[in-house]
Amino acid sequence: MTNIQKVAKQANVSVATVSRVINQANNVSPKTRRKVEHAIQELKYVPNMLARNFRTSQSKSILVILTSISNLFYMELVRGISEYANNKGYDILLSETNGDPKKQIDCLEKVKNRITDGAIIIETTVFSNALMTLEESNPIVQCCSHNDKVAMPYVRIDNVKGGYMAGKVLLDAGCRNLVMVGIQGSSQYNIERRQGFLKAAVEVGLQESDIYEINVVELSFQGGKQAAEDILLRKKTDGVFFVSDMLAIGAMQVFQKHGVRVPEDISIIGYDNLEICEMVTPTLSSIAQPAKKMGEEGARLLIDRINNEEDINYKNVIFQPELVLRNSVRKS
């Protein structure tokens, strides 16, 4: 990557001279100025003006790094972040990674180069190595997913408890041929929700091997539809836990198309408690997490870090899930 030192070497001048040219100082000869400008063009160097200005002032903006803007739960989180940040005089910038490691690194470079004052990371997979290089000297907060290998504050839900609650409600409804639909990869929340769900199953005498697991590529309505096609091939399934409401609603569309009744034939529970849960037929039971409040708390933690508030404000925040029973789980 081209930097000011390479430009100075190319133009055969000092770094200070390059800096004076960039800042349009008067004490540079026309000949030297042309040499430096030619080197800048040749090397395609873009001066990092924001990083330079950050030494004396803040950009009054924060970066929100998220996997996908199509995830309705993430959008509610962002709404909470935005409202809190705006009230404190900060703008937000959104960067979507789609889980691409290169895009993740590029986003973190913006923090490292001080283009923004700090970042909130909303990712299904929290990237370890890149975070470790930033954790001590940059204001960063993890939201929803978290990585305990890095010393950064986080805001999240108790996913183990949430997964357990989802399993318990299906089991209490008499379901024993259970399916869990999660997401591929090493997502921390998926691991934790699975842990809680399996714990509930084992408590009633089921084995982990009795639970049929499907991990889809995409956390979306389409991912849920694909999972439903797989579930239909099993025939005996009577209860399904989806780690996202979007997956559950996508699956319900397929079940209805094939004449599979919810909850008479299959009981279903999702996770997130999105507003859309009330808009589908039957209405979807779900494990609720307070997305907007979580976003607000993430923004508060980050802005406190930016402004070097006392350490007491850096404590991790763990919200408790709530069960919202509707009509997609049959009565016990």
CATH of 4-47, one of 1.10.490.10, 3.40.190.10, 3.90.1150.10, 1.10.260.40: 1.10.260.40
Would you kindly state where each structural domain of the chain is located, as residue ranges? 4-47, 58-157+291-320, 159-289
Pick 37 or 135 by higher pLDDT.
Answer: 37
Return the CATH number of the domain spanning residue range 159-289: 3.40.50.2300
How far is it, in rounded angstroms, from Cα 330 to Cα 324?
Answer: 14
- CA separation for the pair 36, 67 (Å, rounded): 40
Provide the pLDDT for residue 310.
46
Encode pLDDT of 162-179 as tens digits: 999 999 999 999 999 999
Q: Which amino acid, 62?
A: I
The b-or-e profile of 15-47 (16+ CB within 10 A means b, else e) is eebbbbbbeeeeebeeebbebbeebbeeeebeb
Indicate the average pLDDT of the chain.
Answer: 87
**Mean pLDDT computed over 35-61:** 71
Q: By C-alpha distance, which of 48, 179, 168 is closest to 115?
A: 48
User: What's the predicted TM-score (pTM) here?
Assistant: 0.79
- Under CATH, what is the fold of the domain 58-157+291-320? Rossmann fold (3.40.50)
- What per-residue confidence (pLDDT) applies to 49? 53
Lowest mean pLDDT among 123-137, 248-262, 310-324: 123-137
Would you say the CATH fold of 159-289 matches that of 58-157+291-320?
yes
Q: What is the pLDDT of residues 62-118, one digit of tens each?
A: 999 988 888 899 999 999 999 999 999 999 999 988 877 788 778 877 777 778 888
pLDDT band per the 50, 70, 90 thresholds, residue 219: confident
